[in-house]
Amino acid sequence: MRRVVVIGGGANAEHDVSLSTAAAVAGALRSGGFDVEELTIGRDGTWRRGADALGSRAIGSLAAALGVIEGADAVFPAVHGPSGEDGTLAALCALADTPMVGSGLRSGALGMDKWATKLVAQAVGIRTAPGRLVAAADVDGVEFEAPAVVKPVSAGSSYGVALARDASGLRDALRDAARFDDRILVEDVVEGREIDVGVLREAGGRRWAAPPLEIHADGLFDTRSKYDGSARFSVPADLGGADLAALTGAALRMFDALGCAGVARVDFFLTEHGPVLNEINTMPGMTAHSQVPRMFAAAGLTYEQLVARLVDAATVPRTHRPEELSV
């Protein structure tokens, strides 16, 4: 029986969302016959094993957590946001020489940084919204024509994301975004359908895109609409052949350009001129009702099968790991 350590929580704004993902992943893996251990990172950075605290300070509890990770066949990091999805846990697993589900340090760091993601996308011919980078210390002096979308450079679950309709709203949005990061992205508003594409890299190195999902929200798809049930999802999205090919092609190209592994969700606006990249999530929400599992369910892959395949991909022999294969 393969032993998998699932890590949830995290010392960031997405703590509760990560707990939900971790609990769902752990349950699905147990249903699939895996031996599962659960570790949780508290909001204060201390680690727990189940209900048991591993120490009163972050460094001591981390040392104890490494003892739990030792000997695991794989680690499944279900921590969204900074100090998790951004490559931090990937680096920890690499130093511990332990296989990990999902993207490595470089892919996680680039994918979490929305400015870096834009630069990579532009380099491989994928359109993004025109925008500029602003330092949090400079928000009071920023001049940018409204309406505009304001977002922290490195944050998830749409925390700090706002649509500023006028100069006053822009100033408020910048100050709110500065609560989550010291770098802020201000972008032009893009008019189009919101379409997500899930991409999975299998144990053999093949990567493929699930049927895309469309988001239907009243206004901006922000943190509130993500979790209060007001947004609706259509999967498969109602797309013509040309739009489907353009979206899936761009998603695969972005996945490859960042060197992603495991699963990623690539978010687009579908405009009259084609796809415009919004962002990429290298550790997307992964409860059974999240967007990525819904997309793969539309392809005939159950939630339990999806998480099992992610572990399979992480535990192939080192010399045959997907990131070392050409595709």
Q: 196 and 309: one domain?
A: yes
| Residue 136 domain-assigned (yes or no) | yes
Partners of 42 in the β-ladder: none
- CA-based nearest residue to 62, from 114, 11, 115, 103: 11
Torsion of CA 142, 147, 152, 155, to 10 degrees: 180
| Residue 105 domain-assigned (yes or no) | no
Which string of b and e fits 302-319 if b means at least 16 CB within 10 Å?
A: ebbebbbbbbebbbbeee
Identify which has the larger pLDDT, 323 or 224. Answer: 224
pLDDT at 326 over 50: no
Q: 61 and 147: one domain?
A: no
pLDDT digits (tens, 9 = 90+) for 150-199: 999 987 667 889 999 988 888 899 999 999 889 999 999 999 999 999 99
| Residue 137 domain-assigned (yes or no) | yes
Domain count, the chain: 3
The chain-wide mean pLDDT, for the chain, equals 91
Q: For residue 256, what pLDDT band results from cuts at 50, 70 and 90?
A: very high
Q: For residue 75, what pLDDT band results from cuts at 50, 70 and 90?
A: very high
Interior CA angle at 131 toward 130 and 134, to 5°?
170
Q: 171 and 299: one domain?
A: no
| Residue 43 domain-assigned (yes or no) | yes
Decide if 209 contacts 327 (C-beta within 8 A): no
Token pair for 239: 């797309």
Q: 94 and 54: one domain?
A: yes
Q: 122 and 269: one domain?
A: yes
Which string of b and e fits 70-94 if b means at least 16 CB within 10 Å?
A: eebbbbbbbbbbbebbbbbbbbbbe
Q: Phi first, then psi: what are they for 165, rounded to 5°? A: -95, -15
Token pair for 196: 């997500």
* pTM score, whole prediction: 0.89
The whole-number pLDDT of residue 317 equals 64
Decide if 87 contacts 108 (C-beta within 8 A): yes
Q: 138 and 244: one domain?
A: no
CB atoms within 10 A of CB 60: 13
Domain range holding 303? 110-126+191-324
